[in-house]
Chains A and B, each alone.
Chain A
Amino acid sequence: MPGPLTVSELLARLAIDARRVAVEHNLVVLKRGTLDEIIVHEGDQIEIVNFVGGG
Chain B
Amino acid sequence: MTSDTLTIADKSFSSRLIVGTGKYASPAVMVRAHEASGAEMITVAVRRVNITLPGEGGGPRVPKEASLLDYIDTSKYFLLPNTAGCYTADEAIRTARLGREAGLSHWVKLEVIGDQRTLFPDNEQLLEATRVLVREGFVVLPYTNDDPVVCRKLEDAGAAAVMPLGAPIGSGLGIQNVNNMRIIREFARVPLIVDAGVGTASDAALAMELGADGVLMNTAIAGAQDAVAMAESMKLAVRAGRLAYLAGRIPRKLYANASSPIEGLVGR
- Decide if B67 touches A50 in the complex (CB within 8 Å): yes
Comparing B21-29, B173-181, B228-236, the segment that makes contact with chain A is B21-29
> In whole Å, how far is B6's beta carbon from the nearest beta carbon of chain A?
18
For B84, the chain A residues whose CB sits under 8 A away are 54-55
Minimum CB distance partner of A14 in chain B: B51
* B68 x A53 contact (CB < 8 A): yes
| Contact partners of A24 in chain B: CB under 8 A | 94, 97-98
Interface residues on A, range: 20 to 34
- Decide if B102 touches A53 in the complex (CB within 8 Å): no
Find out whether the CB atom of A55 lies under 8 angstroms from the CB atom of B169: yes
A-B contact pairs, 18 of them (CB 8 A): A13-B54, A14-B52, A22-B46, A32-B101, A47-B48, A49-B102, A50-B102, A51-B69, A51-B102, A53-B21, A53-B22, A53-B30, A54-B22, A54-B84, A54-B218, A55-B20, A55-B23, A55-B216
Bound-state Cα–Cα, A16 to B81, Å: 20
Residue B224 at the chain A interface, CB threshold 8 Å: no
Residues of B within 8 A of A32 (CB): 101, 104
Report the interface size for chain B: residues with CB under 8 A from the other chain.
Answer: 43
> Is A5 at the interface (CB under 8 A from chain B)?
no
A residues whose Cβ falls under 8 Å from a Cβ of B: 13-17, 20-24, 27, 29-32, 47-55
Q: Which residue of B lies closest to A17 (CB)?
A: B67
Question: Which residues of B line the A interface, CB within 8 A?
Answer: 20-24, 30, 43-49, 51-54, 61, 64, 67-69, 79, 81-82, 84, 94-95, 97-104, 169-170, 196, 216-219
Give, as a whole number of angstroms, the nearest-CB distance from A18 to chain B: 11
Cβ–Cβ contact A52 & B68, under 8 A? yes
4 A-B pairs closest in CB distance: A54-B45, A55-B218, A55-B20, A22-B101
Inter-chain contact B23/A53, CB cutoff 8 Å = yes
Contacts of B99 in A (CB 8 A): 22, 49, 51
CA–CA, A54 and B69, complex, Å? 12
Instruction: Establish whether residues B101 and A48, one from each chain, have CB atoms under 8 Å apart when the complex forms.
Output: no
Contacts of B44 in A (CB 8 A): 51-54
How near does chain A come to B217, taking the closest CB pair, in angstroms?
A: 7
Which residues of chain A have C-beta atoms less than 8 A from B53's C-beta? Answer: 14
User: A50-B49, A52-B21 provided; 14 other pairs, C-beta below 8 A?
Assistant: A16-B51, A21-B49, A22-B100, A29-B94, A47-B48, A48-B49, A48-B51, A49-B46, A49-B98, A51-B79, A51-B81, A53-B24, A55-B22, A55-B218
